[in-house]
Each structure stands twice: as C-alpha cells, then as structure tokens.
Structure 1
Amino acid sequence: MKKSVLNIVSILFVSFLTACNVNDSYYEDYTPPSPPTGIQVINGDERVDISWNHNRESDVAGYNVYYSYSYNGRYTLIGSTANNYFIDFGANNGEKYYYAVAAYDYNGNESDLSYDVVYAVPRPEGFNQTIFDYRRFPNNAGYSFSNYSVVRYDDQNSDVFFENYQGTYYLVVWDDTDIQDLGYTNDIYDIPYAPSSGWSPSKDVIAKVGHTYVIWTWNNHYAKIRVKNITPDRIVFDWAYQLVEGEPMLKPSLKGGIRKPIDKSTLERE
C-alpha cells in the first residue's frame, strides 16, 4: 500500500509540472526589441551597403530595413535579414536615401526605427582607369567624369589630365577646376567628403601611388581618384563621381541626431 501511495504522489507531481509547462507555452510576449544602433552606410555604384550593431536581446529573430527620400518622410520597407548587414541594390545614382533599421523578435514584435540619422547618395565609380602623359599622348591624356571617358587633355570636358614633367608626375586641372591631395588611403572609399578649402593654387598636384585626390569640377561636381600605378607614360587610378551638383558627399554620411518615433501605420511595406 505504501508503494502505491508513492506512485500516486509521483504521478500527481509530474502532472503538475506538465500543466505548468503547458501554461508557460501560452505565454505571450508583447515587448519589442530595442531599436538597432550604429547604423552606417557606404555609397556604391547604384547600391548602398548598410550595416549596424547586433541587438543584445536573445529573442531577436531579424531586422527590417527601411528607406525614405527625406528625413521626416514616409519610410518604405525594402527588405529583411537575420544578419546585421543589408545591400540596397535598388538604389539609383544621384538620389538621396535616408535609411533606418528595426529589429523584430520571434513573436513578431518590431522595435522603433533606429535613431541614427544616416543617408547615402549613390554615385558612379570606376576602377583601373588609365590616362597617358599629355606631352606624348595628348589625345588620351585627359579624363571626363561626366562622360565616364578618356578625352583629349584640352577637351572642353576634360576634368583632369596627366603630366610627366622631367620625371616628376603631376595631376593637372584647368583654371575653372580645383584639385587637392588628401594623402595616402587604403582604397577609394576612405575619403567621405570633399573638403571646403585647401585647394591647390597652382592647379596641379604631385601624383603619388596610394594617394587619393579630390577634384571640384568646372560644373560644380565633386570627384575623387586614387592612384594605383604610375609609369613614365601613364597613370592608373580608381575614381568616383558625385552626380548631384554641389553635393560634397563622396562616401556615406553618419550624422548625429535623434529620430522622432514614427507611427508604424504610416510605414509602407513591399
């Protein structure tokens, strides 16, 4: 009889634990994650790379990425990811896009939009472009950013040309254009903005491998080139050109600021 009583007690105890587990399975979580932080964007050619810090909550399932044409405008969902990285392949060169990211958990709760105020202005770029010494090869010595092409050094669309003057190599611009050496960089993406001063008064700079140069063109556009190789008769460089007139942004923008909470009902979802 004693053994039977113990068995009955054991059965009741297990039933109690099972009931508790069943009740726990119906627990509803209505608490959204915190907004993601550390949003950064990198301009590309008809693309924008967006990254952010992973949320610390253990129940975060993924992130929704939004864009808008204005800071306080309507934000449209462009994609979701489980990672902290997303590429907007639908971005158009010459358009300004504001980006925001929201985290969501396994119960479908979505955070507010990220508070970092970031925007990007995608622009065309090119790699391993070659132009030649204008003294020996005048027809192939200049480069036109607006036409994305090699031109004669004194062509009306020439923004910059190459010169080998007695063994010293120069990048040269005309009187209506400015140029500045911003020093050694790891790649073409290292210079985020065109400077507001410090342009070369002589309208030329000594060309050095690994240096990036910003050019303020005659028609009020900004470009940058990074020299990759120089020989006595040619120079090879990567370049980027901002299509928006007067826009000094050559890479991404990360502007300090706090985004006001946005009513989720105004968000567009695609």
Structure 2
Amino acid sequence: MKKTTLYLSIAAAALFLSACQINDPNNYYEIDNTPPAPPEGLVVYNGDNRADIAWLHNRENDVAGYNVYYSDTYDGRYTLIGSTSDNYFIDYEAANGVETFYGVAAYDYNGNESELSYDVAYAIPRPEGFNQTIYDYLNYPNNSGYSFTSFSSVPYDDLSSDFFFENYQGQYYLNVWDDSDIQDMGATTDIYDIPFAPETGWSSTKDVRAIIGHTYVIWTWDNHFAKIRVKNITRERIVFDWAFQLVPGSTMLKPKAGSDVRKSFKNIVEERKTKRSE
C-alpha cells in the first residue's frame, strides 16, 4: 500500500467547520467523513526534464480537487508536489534519466482525502531535440551521422555515430551499423506518438527507407533506445526531431557490442546493394 502524509491544516479546517455547525442549535449539519474513491486511469508521459500526468475525473459530485504525489519506488513514501482542480498535472521538476513514480489522491470540500491511485505510473524523462539536420554521407561525410550521446552531428564512420543518412540512387535511407538496430514505426503525427521501443521487428539489413512523417526507433550500440521523426528530405539532407533515453536497457536483453571495431563500411555497402537489388 502506498503511504501518504496527513496534512494537519486540512484536517483542522474540516474539524473547525464541523464544530461550528454542531454548536449552532439553529442549524443542523450532517458531517461527511467519507473520502472520495482513489482516482483511476493514471498515465504518465515522458518529456524533456518534465513528466505529464493525467487521470480520469472522479464521479463524486463533491470532489474539490486532486493532490499529486511522487516517490522513488511504487511502494515507497510519497511526497506531495502539487494540487489541481483538473485531471492533468505537469511535473516540471522531473529530471532526465531519473525514474519517478506518481500517485494522485482526490479530496472533497470537507477535507476528506482518498487513498492514492493504484495504477503503476512512472516516468523516466529524457532529452529531445527538434529540426536537427544531417547530410548524405557520400557528399558530406563529416556531417552525415548523428550521435545521441553528444546530441550532435558527427562523421558517419565515427564510433559514436548512431545512424547516418544515405541518398542511394535517388532513394533515401537511414542506416545503422552492424552493432545497432533500427525499425520503421510508420506514419505519426509527432515525435510523441511512439511511447515505447518495440521488442521485435528490427531491420535485418540495418537500414530503412527514410519517409517524411515516419518515426523510427533505434537501438544503439551502447544499449540505449532513441527515436527520430523525419520532417523533411532533400537530395542532400534530412531534417528530423529526436528523443533519447538516458537509462540503458537490460544488457541481458541486448548485449553491448563486443568490440570497438565495426565492420568495414565498404563491406556493408556491398551487402546492402546486393539485398536492395534482390
């Protein structure tokens, strides 16, 4: 059971109002000691140094608002971070790369507070960027790759390069090295449409067709997940939005690369030419 902190000010105010009504012989007042039900449907959305929290409105007519709490663990001690009369709250103090659990309690006009929501709702905020540009590796090799570690463009063959752009005979590709994976998640409205990385379905050729409006998930060589959404493509460059998870995935799920030496790009190009012509 989640633990909450009782706030004496709320309880004292409720008792004061109750006492005033009871001591007045000309006024009958029925004391309401029944708290609302715990809120349901709690969900949390990752952002860049923020977490967006939403839930379903309670059905009780006397609900005055909601208290939002956070904790380091689901079963830990929860601390109040804010209150709202709406069913939406933004935690602007959430830190990138830090796992935080959230709970919400409803309170009524008599100061009764519900138990915390039972949903397992947590966020691990991550950095994101917009309108990043990289170029075709054949003509601009020094600015054709992108590194999520440094949040910047790098040479396509740099060891920190997580993916790079290719214009292959008028068809556009996003390429990763043999120690990484990539998958086309299809057309999306924005970078936030894909909340989680897939477990299967990675490209066996280590490349995907680059299509405007599509979002792609990348499993990096150092066991992190990232996503990019293509916004514009020309013969020379590609423009995309990105988000990168700082917390590494389980090494049992995807082992780290066993060597700093990647397969020679010449061999990779020949393999891809053969597969694309099939």
Q: Normalization by structure 1: what TM-score?
A: 0.82
Q: Say whether 1:165 aligns with 2:168.
A: yes
Residue 23 of structure 1 is matched in structure 2 by 27
Please, which runs of 5 or more residues in structure 1 have no aligned partner? 1-19, 249-270
Matched, 1:144 2:147: yes
Note the 1:192-231 alignment, pairs <5 A. 192-231=195-234
Structure label with greater radius of gyration: 1
Q: Alpha carbon RMSD of aligned pairs, Å? A: 1.7
Superposition pairs of residues 1-270 of structure 1, within 5 angstroms:
22-24=26-28, 26-246=29-249
- Tell me how far 1:21 sits from its aligned partner: 9.6
**C-alpha distance in 1 between matches for 2:250 and 2:243:** 13
Please give the alpha-carbon distance, in whole angstroms, between the structure 1 residues aligned to 2:71 and 2:49.
16
Poorly superposed stretches of 4+, deviation over 4 Å: none
Q: Using the alignment, how far apart are the partners of 1:119 and 1:202 within structure 2?
A: 35
Give the Å deviation of 1:23.
2.2
Q: Identity rate of aligned residues, in percent?
A: 70
Write the distance in 2 (CA, Å) between the matches of 1:136 and 1:159.
19
How many angstroms does 1:22 deviate by? 4.1
Whole-Å Cα distance in 2 between the matches of residues 119 and 200 of structure 1?
30
TM-score, structure 2 length as denominator?
0.79
Tell me how far apart the structure 2 counterparts of residues 23 and 111 of structure 1 sit (CA, whole Å).
28
Measured in 1, the distance between the counterparts of 2:25 and 2:117 equals 36
Contact kept, 8 Å, 1:62 with 1:82, in 2: the verdict is: yes
AA of the residue aligned to 2:222: N
How many residue pairs are counted as aligned between the two chains? 229
Alignment partners' CA distance in 1, 2:154 and 2:25: 75
AA paired with 1:32? P
Q: CA deviation at 1:144?
A: 0.3
The CA deviation at 1:89 is 0.4
Q: Distance in 2 between matches of 1:235 and 1:22?
A: 77
